[in-house]
Every structure is written in C-alpha cells, then in structure tokens.
C-alpha cells in the first residue's frame, strides 16, 4: 500500500459480500426484502406499544427503544448497501464512512445495553414480583434508558474522534458491506495501535459485564421458575423470557463471532457474513420473536391494525380473532 499517496478527500471502496455479478440481483432482492420487513415490523411494534395502555410497562417501554434502535441501524447500513449493489458502485466518501461507522456503533452498543436492562427487568419481575412496581418505577426506567443512550453515544463519539487522527491512502478497499470500525482500522496507513486498544477495551467493557449480568439474571430466573409449584405459572414465566433469550442468543452469538474472528483471523469475508446476522437478520426477526411468542403483543398488534385499516369493523374482527 502506498503510504506516500494520501489525500484529505478520500473515498473508500466497500467490496460487499460478493463481487460475482450474477449474485448482485439476488443479494439486492434479499436485502431489500429483509430491510422492508424489519422496518415495517419494528414500526408496528412501536405503534402497538404506544397505542395500547396495557403495554405501558417497563418491559414494553424498553422493547420500544430496542425496536427504534433496530430501525435506525437498518437505516444506517442497508440503504447504502442497496444503492451500491444497484448502481454497481462500491464507493463511499470519507465523511459518509465515518458517519455510517458512528451511527452503526451507537445503535449496536445501544442494543447491547437495552438487552441487559431488559434482562434485569425480567429478573425483578420473576424473582421479586411483590416489589416489581416499586423497583421498576418510571423514574428508574427513564434513567436506565437515558444511561443506555448516553453511554452508546459517548463511546461511539470517542471511537470516531480517534479515527479522525489516522491517515488513509487513496483507493482504500474495505472487505465489508458497511464501514465497520475494525475493518476501517485495517485500512489505515498510520499507526492504529491506540485505536485497536480503545476498540477492544470498549468491546470488553461493554460486552463482558452486560453479558455476565444477563447470565446471572437468567440463572436466578430459571432457578425461581423451577421452584414454582404451578405449571401454569412456570409456562407463563418461560414464555415471557423465551423471546428475550432468543434475541440475546442471536445478538451475542453473532456479535462475539464477528469480534473474535476479526481479532484472531485475517479473513474478513467470514466476519462480513456474520455481521449480516446482527445488523440485518436479528432486527428483522425481533418483531416476529416478540409478537409471535407474546399474547399481549399479539393482541395489541391486532387492535392497532384493526383500528388503523378497519375502523368500522375492528370490534367484529377482534371477536373473530379471540
């Protein structure tokens, strides 16, 4: 790589998932479908929660934030990828790359923190049901949401500002479908050791404690559920936690895979494929996971859709669906 040929006006080349021309129409159709499903599904979750007073509880309050974060991460990554596929262009400007990297970092970090807060909420609800209302009061929920948002913004801002001090060569290729921080650092011409230290320190601090807290919460939750004498109570507790556990498994499984592969492997293609899971697939699946496994959410969605599209007929439709 020519370190002497540098410029302040740069373009990066996002090589994407495949350079095979025959695969481009298939990739475009696949990602466009997943993008639309994710946007509509998460938007419906937010509208259903805000319109139904029965869902104005801490669990659904945090779920609405998670759905909004999933919408934002999709809007940050997928449209540019679709444009690149459709126009057979791989270029993204320096400013566009930094902006995309910043917002994708914000919402990935936010997802991580929200999943941790939701695990704590389920821990309190199942292990301390008599104190749930006092412990998970509206003020605490607002503070937890504000803390999650603030920390995500600050960490992403710090990473982005540190990246601005690096120099990059012209004709820089990124073996990814979006400007992921670890892949951008590999393209730097100057020494990026400090950036790597900051990256993996932040990943450790924002990954290990939350994951430990989630595992601790669910170990206590499972222990409490197994002690329940009522079969119906066990089923209800498992059903409310099953959705969250599924989302956690998808998010952390693929997220850890991406960072471990980037740390111990020189292959970027595997990391790009794994990134599709937590940036595109998981946000698309979240609405299905939470709505199909949750009776209250199904009812709220049915009410919202009926009121919105069949305003004169919705009581009849609700009786039919019940």
- Is pLDDT at 263 greater than 70 in this prediction? no
The pLDDT tens digits of the residues spanning 87-136 come to 877 888 888 999 999 999 999 999 999 999 999 998 998 888 889 999 99
| Residue that the structure tokens 């509208």 belong to | 47
- The fourth-level CATH superfamily of domain 11-321 is Rhodopsin 7-helix transmembrane proteins (1.20.1070.10)
Cα distances (angstroms) measured from residue 91 to each of 80, 169, 175: 10, 14, 12
User: Do residues 14 and 261 lie in contact, with contact meaning Cβ atoms separated by under 8 Å?
Assistant: no
Q: What mean pLDDT comes out for the span 168-172? A: 73
Distance, in Å, from the CA atom of 148 to the CA atom of 263, rounded to the nearest integer, reads: 26
Instruction: Report the range of poorest mean pLDDT among 67-81, 181-195, 294-308.
Output: 294-308
Average pLDDT over residues 12-37: 87
Q: Are 264 and 283 in contact (CB under 8 A)?
A: no
Please state, in angstroms and rounded to a whole number, the distance separating the CA atoms of residues 2 and 4.
5
Q: How does residue 6 score in pLDDT terms, banded at 50, 70 and 90?
A: very low
Mean pLDDT of 249-267: 66
pLDDT at 188 over 80: yes
Is the Cβ–Cβ distance between 284 and 34 less than 8 Å? yes
pLDDT at res. 19: 77
Closest by CA position to 78, among listed 258, 275, 255: 275
| pLDDT value at residue 267 | 55
Please provide the size of the chain in residues.
322
Structure token pair of residue 294: 């949750």
CA distance 142 to 127: 22
Q: Where are the domains of the chain?
A: 11-321
Average pLDDT over the chain, rounded to whole?
82
Distance CA 290, CA 216 (A): 22
Contact between 245 and 218 under an 8 Å Cβ cutoff? The reply is: yes
Q: What region does 16 belong to: left with phi over 0, alpha with psi -120 to 50, or beta?
A: left
What pLDDT is stored for residue 4 in this prediction? 42
- Cβ contact 105:202 at 8 Å: no
Ranking 74-88, 131-145, 222-236, 261-275 by mean pLDDT, the lowest is 261-275
Q: If DSSP states are collapsed to H, E and C, what string results for 99-140?
A: HHHHHHHHHHHHHHHHHHHHHHHHHHHHHCHHHHHHHCCHHH
> Model confidence at 322, in pLDDT bands (50, 70, 90)?
very low
What's the rounded mean pLDDT across residues 50-75? Answer: 91
Residues contacting residue 188 through CB under 8 Å, at least 6 positions apart = 166, 167, 168, 195
For residue range 292-321, list pLDDT tens digits in order: 667 777 777 777 777 766 655 545 444 544
How far apart CA 63 and CA 42 sit, in angstroms, is: 10
**pLDDT for the residue 69:** 95
Residues facing residue 173 across a β-bridge? 13
């Amino acid at each position: 790589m020519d370190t002497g040929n540098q410029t302040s006006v740069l373009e990066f080349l996002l090589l994407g998932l495949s350079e095979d021309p025959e695969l481009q129409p298939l990739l475009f159709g696949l990602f466009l479908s997943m993008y639309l499903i994710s946007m509509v599904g998460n938007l419906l979750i937010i509208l259903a929660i805000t319109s139904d007073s029965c869902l104005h509880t801490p669990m659904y309050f945090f779920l609405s934030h998670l759905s909004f974060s999933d919408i934002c991460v999709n809007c940050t990554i997928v449209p540019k990828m679709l444009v690149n596929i459709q126009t057979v262009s791989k270029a993204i400007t320096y400013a566009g790359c930094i902006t995309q990297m910043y917002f994708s970092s914000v919402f990935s970090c936010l997802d991580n923190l929200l999943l941790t807060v939701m695990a704590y909420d389920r821990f309190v609800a199942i292990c301390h049901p008599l104190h749930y209302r006092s412990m998970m009061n509206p003020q605490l929920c607002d503070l937890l949401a504000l803390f999650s948002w603030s920390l995500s913004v600050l960490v992403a801002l710090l990473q982005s500002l540190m990246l601005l001090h690096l120099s990059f060569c012209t004709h820089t290729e990124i073996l990814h479908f979006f400007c992921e921080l670890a892949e951008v650092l590999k393209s730097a011409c100057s020494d990026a050791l400090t950036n790597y230290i900051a990256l993996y320190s932040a990943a450790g601090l924002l990954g290990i404690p939350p994951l430990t807290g989630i595992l601790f919460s669910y170990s206590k939750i499972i222990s409490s559920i197994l002690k329940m004498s009522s079969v119906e109570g066990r089923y209800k507790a498992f059903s409310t936690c099953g959705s969250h556990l599924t989302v956690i498994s998808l998010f952390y499984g693929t997220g850890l895979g991406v960072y471990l592969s980037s740390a111990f492997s020189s292959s970027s293609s595997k990391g790009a494929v794994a990134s599709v899971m937590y940036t595109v697939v998981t946000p698309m699946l979240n609405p299905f996971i939470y709505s199909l496994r949750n009776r209250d959410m199904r009812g709220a969605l049915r009410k919202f859709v009926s009121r919105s599209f069949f305003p004169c007929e919705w009581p009849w439709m609700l009786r039919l669906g019940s």
